[in-house]
Each structure stands twice: as C-alpha cells, then as structure tokens.
Amino acid sequence: MRAIDKHPSLAEHLFSDNKVRKYGMMIFQHGVKGAAKKVNPAALYVDAALSVIEAVNSYLKYAKECEKTKQILSENRRIKSELDGQLKILKLRQDTILKEGEARIEELNQQVQLNELQRSNMLIEVKKHIQIAKIMQKKLKEERESGINFKQLQEAQQALDHLLRASLMFITNNIE
C-alpha cells in the first residue's frame, strides 16, 4: 500500500486549507504587525496544540497503514511461495501424466502390431483351409463323375459346406 500526499503541491495546500486562508487574509488586510495585534495568543496556542494533535494523529494513521502494508507484503510473499510450490507439483504431475500417456500409446501400438500379426497369420491359415476345401471340392466332383456311393458323396459335400461356412464366419468376424 502506498502513502499518498493529501496536497501534492504547496500552492494547492495554501489555497485549499481553511486555516491558512484565514490567517493569510489577516496578514494581507492588516500587515504582519497588524495581524499580530489582532490574533489572540491563547488562540494561537490552542491552534498550535490542535495542529500537533492532528499531526500525531496523521502519523499514527500513517504508521498503521505502513504496518498493514508490511503484513500484506509478507502475506503476498507467503502466497507466492505456496503457489510456486503448487506449480512445481502440477508440473511434476503433468510430466508424469504425459509419460504415462506415452507408455499407454506405446503399449497400444504394440498390441495393434501383435493383433495385425495374429490376424495375418489367421488369414494365412484360412487361405490354406480354403485351398484344401477347393481341392476337396475338385475331388468330390471327380468322385461324382466316376460314380462312387452317392450317400458318402453327399455326407462329404455337407462336411465341406460346413467347413466353408465356418471359414467364412471366421473371416467376417476377424475383418470387422
């Protein structure tokens, strides 16, 4: 808190203070010797005592405000040091969260790569099954043409159809 002068300049003080104007007008009207005759010495002592009391009162107010200023400044320093500590804690938390996030992203990338590898291996296996199914279909066709037992051919065809359906279900489930 800053102390501000009530009257920034002497001229402003002379024109705004009632007591200064009163005594100034006396001096102006009667001269210095005439003003001294008109002024009551007891009134001068009372006025001087009131001025001293007013000055002491002003000084006490000033001292009180200075003490408040010191307290505010010490409180500001305490708050600043507390906020600096909290800021350091927040920065450490942020760094920790960022590192954890990077670790999670890396883990997810590894899982995606593993899943892609597993998926490609599964697709290779499914392709092999489809090739085997094509070979079986070709053999069944040859068997039908050569006239082998119809019931056995029908059961083999049903088993082949079941294998193809299972392979297609597997493909559609893994592609999604």
Q: How far apart are CA 142 and CA 83, in angstroms?
A: 86
Which letter does DSSP use for residue 147 in this model? Answer: T
- Please tell me the predicted confidence (pLDDT) of residue 38: 65
Residue 173, CA distances (Å) to 38, 75, 119, 130, 142 in order: 117, 66, 11, 16, 33
Q: pTM for the complete prediction?
A: 0.41
- Please tell me the predicted confidence (pLDDT) of residue 126: 78
Cβ-proximal residues to 17 (8 Å cutoff; 6+ apart), any chain: 7
Positive or negative: CA dihedral 61, 62, 63, 68: positive
- Please tell me the predicted confidence (pLDDT) of residue 113: 83
Return the closest-CA partner of residue 6 out of 44, 64, 73, 54. Answer: 54
Residue-level pLDDT, tens digit, the chain, 176 residues: 455 555 555 556 555 667 766 766 666 666 555 555 666 777 778 888 888 888 888 899 999 999 999 999 999 999 999 999 999 999 999 999 999 989 988 988 888 887 788 878 877 887 887 788 788 888 878 877 777 677 777 888 888 888 888 877 877 776 65
- Please tell me the predicted confidence (pLDDT) of residue 132: 83
- Please tell me the predicted confidence (pLDDT) of residue 169: 82
